[in-house]
């Protein structure tokens, strides 16, 4: 497994612990693009953001992903094993804005998702997201039915052009046979794994600091192999 700088790992875990998943995904994205300003990361199309997070995860943990899904029909916990070959090709960076019925739409970003969080319900959030991505939102239909019909067409076209923007999978329950579509949040999958890695690193720091009296920065400055060797010598 490629080594992630321990200071950056712990900083990301601390910074993202109490944040909303949208903001947490950007914290993780900064690990993949440390030189990119945070504002620029927030304006990256969701498909490109998700693909970059998957690329970071693949470099750290490999291409296989273990996903847990609860069956909506019987409550059975399902374990799904996914591999890179089951995912679509990475999105094209040069995707042009959509043109539908004379309206232009760009691909949604994390900033757009954050702005839609204030909507009262899912339908309202989807409409708010549509308006945020429209080049001339004041020209969009006023009636909800007409706006929703346009939204359906935009979503269908976006799914075709950039499937990474909203990844989903079909799970078949081994207990009752029911099938359900489940969203796959790459950022949350990566967060769980990095948080587990960060906690293990903190355990090592605690053990070595208690045993040798070393400070945290001294322990983190050790190479991964040398730190593991010291841990092996003092672990009960």
Please give the model's pTM, rounded to 2 decimal places.
0.89
Residue 140 DSSP code: S
Q: How far apart are the first and last CA of the chain?
A: 26
* Distance of alpha carbon 11 from alpha carbon 146, whole angstroms: 46
Asked if pLDDT for residue 1 goes beyond 60, the answer is: no
* Distance of alpha carbon 183 from alpha carbon 72, whole angstroms: 13
Using alpha carbons, list the distances in angstroms from residue 139 to 47, 74, 112, 127, 157: 26, 45, 19, 14, 20
**What average pLDDT does the chain have?**
92
Highest mean pLDDT among 84-88, 149-153, 158-162: 149-153
Residue 145 tokens read as: 């039915």
Scanning the structure block, which residue is given the tokens 């959509």?
Answer: 98
Contacts 24+ apart (CB under 8 A), 177-182: 178/71, 178/72, 178/73, 178/74, 180/69, 180/71, 180/72, 180/73, 182/69
Pseudo-torsion of CA 90, 96, 100, 104, nearest 10°? 120
- pLDDT in the model for residue 39: 84
Q: Where are the domains of the chain?
A: 6-89+169-201, 98-161
Asked if pLDDT for residue 3 goes beyond 90, the answer is: no
- pLDDT in the model for residue 114: 94
Residue 111 tokens read as: 């900033």
* Distance of alpha carbon 163 from alpha carbon 83, whole angstroms: 16
Q: How many residues in total does the chain contain?
A: 236
Residue 65 tokens read as: 């992903």
Instruction: Give residue 168's pLDDT band: very low, low, confident or very high (50, 70, 90).
Output: confident
Mean pLDDT of 205-231: 96
Mean pLDDT of 118-145: 94
């Amino acid at each position: 497994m490629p080594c992630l700088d321990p200071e950056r790992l712990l900083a990301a875990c601390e910074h993202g612990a109490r944040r909303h998943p949208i903001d947490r995904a950007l914290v993780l994205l900064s690990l993949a693009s440390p030189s990119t300003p945070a504002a620029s990361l927030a304006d990256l199309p969701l498909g490109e953001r998700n693909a970059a997070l998957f690329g970071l995860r693949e470099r750290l943990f490999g291409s296989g992903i273990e996903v847990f899904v609860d069956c909506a029909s019987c409550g059975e916990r399902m374990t799904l094993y996914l591999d890179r070959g089951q995912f679509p090709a990475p999105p094209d960076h040069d995707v042009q804005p959509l043109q539908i019925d004379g309206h232009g739409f760009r691909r949604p970003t994390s900033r757009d998702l954050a702005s839609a969080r204030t909507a009262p319900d899912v339908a309202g959030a989807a409409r708010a997201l549509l308006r945020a991505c429209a080049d001339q939102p004041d020209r969009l239909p006023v009636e909800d039915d007409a706006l929703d019909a346009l939204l359906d067409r935009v979503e269908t076209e976006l799914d075709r052009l950039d499937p990474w923007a909203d990844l989903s999978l079909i799970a078949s329950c081994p207990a009752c046979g029911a099938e359900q579509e489940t969203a796959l949040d790459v950022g949350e999958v990566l967060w769980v794994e990095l948080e587990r890695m960060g906690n293990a690193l903190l355990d090592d720091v605690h053990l070595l600091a208690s045993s040798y009296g070393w400070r945290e920065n001294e322990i983190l400055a050790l190479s991964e192999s040398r730190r593991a060797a010291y841990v092996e010598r003092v672990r009960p």
